Amino acid sequence: MKSVLILSGGIDSSTLLYHLLYEGYEVHALTFFYGQRHAREVDCAKKIAEKASKIGFVDHKIVDISSIHELISKGAITGEEKVPEGYYTEETQKITVVPNRNMILLSIAVGYAVKIGAREVHYAAHKSDFIYPDCRKEFVKALDIAIYLGNIWEQVELKAPFVEMTKAEIVKLGLRLGVPYELTWSCYLGKERPCLRCGTCVERTEAFLLNNAKDPLLSDEEWKEALEIYRKFKPEME
């Protein structure tokens, strides 16, 4: 079984990579550089793909589509606005939306799948990303139909097996599969070390905390600080 996977270098897609390898897939991973502020993710994706290739077939390509930056550089992720701090809420995180990002990336992935004869395209949309419309299961379903209609001679199926899972559930699976989370990157800021306080950092802290695990990317000191920050932001959502 051949699959094209969109690998960002974060927790979700890295877990999906390991999951697919253990399911026996030959994985053709694509990492897109689209002008995101946290370009550091791209290096992480490279390291994860290298490491994962020890347990199964992984072909990894980095695809530079940064020339579209000018067309879609509206949100905080591509550097126009300040990244909000704290727990994900609709208002604070709307600003981190890159317009139509997943549709653009998935379109390219489907074209690549047709070219190499892969019948499936995987991406790691999940329930905790509800804020992003292109991570919701309705979107996955609709796009799957559009892909079918647009490639009727060479059928490709869109799969998002984590779409009903929370981030904590994904980490739970990944810890079991031995995903090297110390190589993954989540922080939106893309500095030397994670900021620990942006939406994705706080979400990451929570996902490990709910599994009674320490985030292996962080030092003991950083983990302690991350937990303090998490507890500070947490009441906001109750």
CB nearer Zn ion, residue 112 or residue 132: 132
- Give the residue with the Cβ less far from Zn ion, 141 or 191: 191
* Closer to Zn ion by Cβ: residue 4 or 187: 187
Smallest distance, Å, CB 39 to Zn ion?
Answer: 14
Cα within 13 Å of Cα(4), Cβ side: 25
**Cβ(108)–Cβ(30) under 8 Å?**
yes
Strand order in the sheet with 26-33: 58-64, 26-33, 2-6, 120-122, 157-159
Smallest distance, Å, CB 37 to Zn ion? 11
Of residues 3 and 128, the one with the C-beta less far from Zn ion = 128
Shortest reach from residue 38's CB to Zn ion, in Å: 9
Tell me the β-bridge partners of 61.
30
Closer residue to Zn ion, CB minimum distance, 19 or 37: 37
Nearer Cβ to Zn ion (18/181): 181
Smallest separation (angstroms) from Zn ion to the CB of 201: 3
* Residue 70 beta carbon to Zn ion: minimum distance, rounded to whole angstroms: 25
Q: Are strands 2-6 and 120-122 parallel, antiparallel or unpaired?
A: parallel
**Tokens 């990451």, residue located:** 204
213 contacts 11 by C-beta, under 8 angstroms: no
Decide whether 85 or 157 has the Cβ nearer to Zn ion: 85
Strand 58-64 versus strand 2-6 pairing type: unpaired
Packing angle of the helix pair 199-209, 220-233 (nearest 10 deg): 110
Site residues (vs Zn ion, CB under 5 A): 187, 195, 198, 201
